[in-house]
Amino acid sequence: MKFVTFIVHGQSKFGCLDGEDVIDLSAFDPSLPSDLGSFLRAGGDLVTLGQKAKSATREHRRPLGSIEYDVVLPSPGTIFCLGLNYLLHVKEGPYQVPDYPTIFMRGKSSLLAHNKPIMRPKISDKLDFEAELAVIIGKTIKHATKETALTAVAGYSCFNDATLRDYQKRTTQWTVGKNFDQTGGFGPILVTPDELPLGASGLKIESRLNGEVMQSDNTSNMMFPVAETIVTLTEAITLQPGDVLVMGTPSGVGYARTPPVFMKPGDVCEIEIEGIGILSNPVRDLY
């Protein structure tokens, strides 16, 4: 099943895709929570909901091409991000090959929706692109094993972990460089695990800047796959419904190129993951 979040009269709603239609789930069933995060935290099952929603009549449907997208999960819990998860990206860094995941966090204010502009701040022109797989957690899990970890996954989406490289490199802690307002594209579609290979492995992942391919790899090349990452995190932290894991980027990022390539106003950056979709964002100056 595939789900989107969209805006109607200034309010976020979530819907299920059915062909070229979006089924407005709160209109289809007014008893449902109005947003995807609340649905997951209430223990809802997206596959069951999607199957039920296919009976929706025309009055509950909207043309997919007419909607204004919101962040696919507009009320996330904790957003955990991995750095250095593809070997060729580690080498282009250059960094030492890690034997433990490099984990940092993003905040909600850094997120933006499909088609909304990534905002380049006035204080830096070192705005880089990073194509990444996003994992949305749907069940509470602690002390996961490799056998149980993926049962906690509600779905997968696309993420652009756009980074201000000069701020990232000012400190060994990456938080500031990874958390400028409106830099993290997230969406537009959540795809449930039943439609993808186990752990979303074996999927082509790509970034394009103004149509030119910049990064191209396969999620099977993640050094710390989804299940293993959940196992590692839950040794310390209880993952909750609505938490998000952002799984690291392949090689080809802008700062590692000769000469470096950074995003600038007027650019359009696309992130595409096989079987999940395309996340597209123009770039604008914040001031």
User: For residue 246, what pLDDT is reported?
Assistant: 98
Is a pLDDT exceeding 80 seen at residue 287? no
Q: What is the mean pLDDT of the chain?
A: 97
Whether this model's pTM surpasses 0.75: yes
The torsion defined by the Cα of 221, 226, 229 and 235, in degrees rounded to 10, comes to: -160
What is the mean predicted confidence (pLDDT) over 261-268?
Answer: 98
User: For residue 118, what pLDDT is reported?
Assistant: 98
User: For residue 177, what pLDDT is reported?
Assistant: 98
What is the mean predicted confidence (pLDDT) over 229-238?
Answer: 98
User: For residue 286, what pLDDT is reported?
Assistant: 85
What is the mean predicted confidence (pLDDT) over 180-193?
Answer: 98
> pLDDT band at residue 97, thresholds of 50, 70 and 90?
very high
What is the mean predicted confidence (pLDDT) over 13-30?
Answer: 95
In percent, the amount of the chain with pLDDT more than 70 equals 100
> pLDDT band at residue 34, thresholds of 50, 70 and 90?
confident
- Domain limits of the chain? 2-69, 79-285
Superfamily of domain 79-285: Fumarylacetoacetase-like, C-terminal domain (3.90.850.10)
